[in-house]
Structure 1
Amino acid sequence: MKHCAGLDVSVKETAIWLFEGLAKAGLPVVCIERRHVNAFLKAQPNKTDRNDARGIAQMMRVNLFRPLHVKTLTSQKRRALLTARKLLKEKAITIENDIRGLLRNFGLKVGKVGAVKFEERIRELTEGMPDLAEIVEPLLDARRKLRQNFAALHRKLLAIVRDDEVCRRLMSIPGVGPVVSLAYTATIDIPARFRNSKAVGPILGLTPALHESGESRRVGGISLCGDGMMRTLLYESAQTLLTRVTKWSWLKAWAMDVAKRRGQRKAIVALARRLAVIMHRIWSDGTQFRWTRTEIMPVAG
């Protein structure tokens, strides 16, 4: 059986679309890891399309490739929703910061103000300067529309989570909210593709990178491989659990103990990794988070 694989870097954005189309056409298709391909092709002195094709064919021939999991359509749509929501929020914050910088040139400081009262504060500062108010008004209008569209996508996200039984169970974990639970299900996609729950940590780049050569062995920081958005959300959830969640649990007690021994930053990373493991276990077992130590099942962090 032949494999259609090794999509070029120039078409990586359409790789999933091509994969789905080839699969629907009944062709045997495998999507392979691009980083492994790049590492394999670096051995060639000259980079040409012909040499790349030959190199990829050789990889397939000798079985030196790692198949890449292609997510289901549902997970892809959820990921698109999360990405669009994040983009709108970032653009709105960028405009707010630009307005702050623009007004600072005229000695006007916005100060600490929430998103709700931001526009009111700007109008208050520019009340006696009509020319400046006329310049700022289009920026405020653009920010307002971005915030409105962000709110619409956020409501859509909440509606999806409300109807998803897995997301509701994941939200039983302290520090895990609707955005984190939906992002986790969209990232993991199919929990059975992991041999065990401990395997989730390395996939999300939350385990230390090991550098070993001869007698030298150095353990560095976390590898930062995998999904950056999911890793950031898990870090934020861990930070929330460690610093803001007031209800005590065995998980928070464990994280506090790590913080005392190794510092808060390392404790947050360790807690983020353990959250990923616990979420996978809860998803696989169909259970909910157990707050007391006597109720918990053994979970390896």
Structure 2
Amino acid sequence: MKHYAGFDVSVKETSVCIVDERGKICVERKVVSHPEDLVALLNDPQWRLERVGLEAGPLSQWLFEGLAKARLPVICIETRHTKAFLQAQPNKSDRNDARGIAQMMRVNLFRPVHVKTLASQKRRALMTARMLLKGKAIAIENDIRGLLRNFGLKVGIVGAVKFEERIYELIEGMPELAEILGSLLVARRKLREEFAKLDRKVRDAAGSDPVCQRLMTVPGVGPIVALAYTSTIDVPARFRNSRAVGAVLGLTPVLNQSGESRRIGRISLCGDAMLRQLLYEAAQVLLTRVAKWSWLKAWAMNVAKRRGAKKAVVALARRLAVILHRIWSDGSEFRWTRNSSTATA
């Protein structure tokens, strides 16, 4: 008889439910959230496991890798789809969620999620740490500006390099204020130094990767966008076509249709927020800073004339996602004119 398992994972413990092909519960147990403990439970000879369901979450990649190495038929399932299925249950608990996921596996009613490779996970961690340090440094700079405004001191427009010099210039002759802001400036300086280290690592990683080098032939796409794209997409073959990437990244409009009513709303904003933001910034750079003309910029300018600049940037970001996937898939480079002999993107 076939068996199906469902996991409801928390930080300390995981609720496990195993059901047979008729839906009868065979075992329910709480296990330490560690791959070895879960494998020890599932490797019992009495279980003929057909599918093991694991909801996507903070620990899912680690647990998925451990279960996959033990050659268990583990599947990582989509969170929103799982939530909608489990809402049919009147009472929510870890035990009931594990039961629900096990039943989803039994009736084959789930949506699988791609689990990234270890290399992409490391690159993603590097990108996240870089962005985190940058955000904290900017937050401290904004707080310093706010504190100085209380005393009628305005920092004005100044770059990151000369920010500290400008602050000391404003608080000259104010020893008490200098002592307070000095601590913030030291923390800000340390954050900027560590950010610069990670930024160099990102640029070095993108510069040494052949795929990133080809992606950077697209105007507006630099090493940050290229590395974020490869670490997020991970395996380009998992998309049936390049156009599907825009929808996965939340860059396609939401359709609400019922009867004779058909309403197209804003973009869905689902998927990876970091990559979506970086593609949006790349689209802005292409429209406003890239001087060299290309068919892609001409297309975006025509969209801006018809629909406005904001919608043009979103449309260009979606098209950049599609073009980058095509370049990655067919091994080509970006062509600046449609009549170029270079492979199309």
Shorter-chain TM-score tier: over 0.9
Pick which of 143-152 and 44-53 moved more. Answer: 44-53
Alignment of structure 1 residues 186-201 onto 2, 5 Å = 186-201=231-246
Match in the other structure for 2:193:
148
- Corresponding residue for residue 104 of structure 1: 149
Residue type of the partner of 1:180?
Answer: V
1:53-72 → structure 2 map (5 Å cutoff): 53-72=98-117
CA distance in structure 1 between the partners assigned to 2:9 and 2:301 by the alignment: 47
Whole-angstrom distance in 1 between the partners of 2:298 and 2:217: 17
Identity of aligned residues (%): 72
Structure 1 distance, partners of 2:245, 2:59, is 26
Give the structure 2 partner of residue 266 of structure 1: 311
Mark the CA change 1:79 to 1:242 in structure 2 (over 3 Å): closer, same or farther. same
Per the TM alignment, residue 52 of structure 1 is displaced from its structure 2 partner at its CA by: 1.5
The normalised TM-score by structure 1 is: 0.96
Taking the TM superposition and a 5 Å limit, the aligned residue runs for 1:151-230 are: 151-230=196-275
User: Relative to structure 1, is the Cα distance of residues 166 and 298 closer, same or farther in structure 2, using a 3 angstrom cutoff?
Assistant: closer
**Count of aligned pairs:** 299
The answer for the alignment partner of 1:231 in structure 2 is 276
Paired residues of 1:256 and 1:267 also in contact (CA < 8 A): yes
The alignment partner of 1:13 has SS state of coil
Q: Residue 202 and residue 278 in structure 1: after superposition, are their counterparts in 2 closer, same or farther (change >3 A)?
A: same
Unmatched segments (≥5 aa) in structure 2: 15-56
3-state SS, counterpart of residue 76 of structure 2: coil
Secondary structure at the aligned position of 1:220 is classed as: strand
CA–CA separation in structure 1 for the residues paired with 2:228 and 2:4: 31
Report the AA paired with residue 65 of structure 1.
F
Equivalent in the alignment of 1:15 = 60
CA separation of 1:267 and 1:6: change in aligned 2, threshold 3 A: farther
Higher helix share: 1
**Structural mapping, 1:16-35, within 5 Å:** 16-35=61-80
The match for 2:47 is: none
3-state secondary structure, aligned to 1:219: strand
Residue 106 (structure 2) pairs with residue 91 (structure 1): no
Which residue of the partner structure matches residue 243 of structure 1? 288
Cα distance, 1:50 vs structure 2: 2.5
TM-fit CA distance, 1:101? 0.8
- Please tell me the root mean square deviation across aligned C-alpha atoms, in Å: 1.5
Is the Cα–Cα contact under 8 Å of residues 5 and 30 in structure 1 kept in the other structure? no
Provide structure 1 residue ranges, at least 5 long, that are not aligned to the other structure. none
Task: Please report the TM-score for the alignment, with normalisation by the length of structure 2.
Answer: 0.84
Distance 1:90 1:103 in 2: 20
Q: What amino acid sits opposite 1:133 in the alignment? A: A
The one of 54, 72, 88 equivalent to 1:43 is 88
Contact 1:5 1:29 in 2 (8 A): no
Counterpart for residue 163 of structure 2: 118
1:170-214 superposed Cα distances (whole Å, 9 cap, x missing partner): 000000000000000001000011111111110001111001122
Residue of structure 2 in register with 1:135 after alignment: 180
* 1: CA distance, partners of 2:260 / 2:102: 37
Q: CA distance change for structure 1 residues 88 and 2 in 2, over 3 Å: closer, same or farther?
A: farther
Greater strand share, structure number? 2
